[in-house]
Structure 1
Amino acid sequence: MSSKKALIVDDSTVTRLMIRKIITDNSGSWDIHEASSADQAVSLLPNLPSLDVVTLDQNMPGEISGLDLAARLQEKYPAAKIALITANIQNAIKDKASALGIQFIEKPISAEKLQTLFAGT
């Protein structure tokens, strides 16, 4: 049985480590990839034929925002569960996440906030 695949995209090393720990502590064996920007994540995509779960920050260094990346990911990985995990809680950001059909999770991150993202995976 192949392991599930996750991509964590956040410019905060601490946040990436926390999400990784939550995944490994609560969801079994996962193949976890990390990127510190949406631009870096785009460069990883050719080597990731499938993804089950993606977590994205909104505001990161580089040319691409988390929401911009989410739209690209939905095209390449239509079955992946995607969540925008951000401290940017503006209604416009929430509305765009909702329009894309991705989960919106406010920072600070916790295992409880990620439960629905990993339910059924």
Structure 2
Amino acid sequence: MASQKVLIVDDGKTIRMQVKEMLPKGSFDVIEAQDGVEGLELMRKERPNLILLDFFMPKMNGWEVIEKMQAHKELLAIPLVVMSGRKDEVTAKIPQLIQLFEFIEKPFDQKALIVAMKSAMAKAKTRQAQANNGVKVAANVADKSVAGSDDIQQLKLQVKALVERNAKMQAEIEAVKKQMAQIMAFVKQKIK
């Protein structure tokens, strides 16, 4: 019987399946969400022991999910691994929040995933110990590492720009896929 609940939040069904396959068999009860809204709802309802969260998603991206988690002490205590194919963009935009989660760059293998999960659990234990000692780490992230609310607004704008850029790139990828399909159909027609 699985002893730990893991929530995988990613808009890519293939990614969710791959991550699920990488988890040690029999150790985890896996819950899946296809976007941040569904993920946040499952966090509140299921209280997973670990969250694997994609950063760039429709509806509610990873940054927005992390912001919502900060408002709920019980959610912020859950170990969190943020997943993205663009580590530099994520960590450059929100370096002061890296203490809240572990980051893993897509694509990754099972070994890297396990290391990230263990690191996320260690960070969560450290946060919990600090919280128990009266240090309000999560609630005061802005006070400790961001100069003020203007900086938070700036970060939100930067994340929004990243999300828009991601959407544009996704549209371009879809257009290229369509063109490739047309080229392949044309080639197949000429070969016959």
What TM-score comes out, normalization by structure 2 length? Answer: 0.53
**Using the alignment, how far apart are the partners of 2:57 and 2:117 within structure 1?**
24
How far is 1:16 from its partner? 0.4
**Using the alignment, how far apart are the partners of 1:67 and 1:24 within structure 2?**
28
* CA deviation profile, 1:75-94 (whole Å, cap 9, x unmatched): 33233211111112334x11
Q: CA RMSD in A?
A: 2.4
Corresponding residue to 2:57 among 48, 56, 60: 60
1:46–1:82 CA distance, 2 compared to 1 (3 A): closer
More strand by share: 1
What is the aligned-residue identity percentage?
Answer: 24
| Residue segments in structure 1 that go unaligned for 5+ positions in a row | none
How far is 1:40 from its partner? 1.5
Give the match's secondary structure for 2:87: coil
Paired residue for 1:37? Answer: 35
State the one-letter code of the partner of 2:62.
Answer: G
More helix by share: 2
Paired residue for 1:103? Answer: 102
Paired residue for 1:20? Answer: 20
**Using the alignment, how far apart are the partners of 1:87 and 1:103 within structure 2?**
14
| Preserved CA contact (<8 Å) 1:84 1:105 | yes
| Preserved CA contact (<8 Å) 1:3 1:29 | yes
| Preserved CA contact (<8 Å) 1:85 1:107 | yes
How far is 1:97 from its partner? 5.7
Q: Which piece of structure 1 moves more, 78-87 or 12-21?
A: 78-87
* Higher relative contact order, chain-length normalized (CA < 8 Å, sep 6+): 1
Paired residue for 2:48? Answer: 51
The structure with more radius of gyration: 2
**Using the alignment, how far apart are the partners of 2:95 and 2:57 within structure 1?**
16
| Residue segments in structure 2 that go unaligned for 5+ positions in a row | 122-192
How far is 1:46 from its partner? 3.5
What TM-score comes out, normalization by structure 1 length? Answer: 0.79
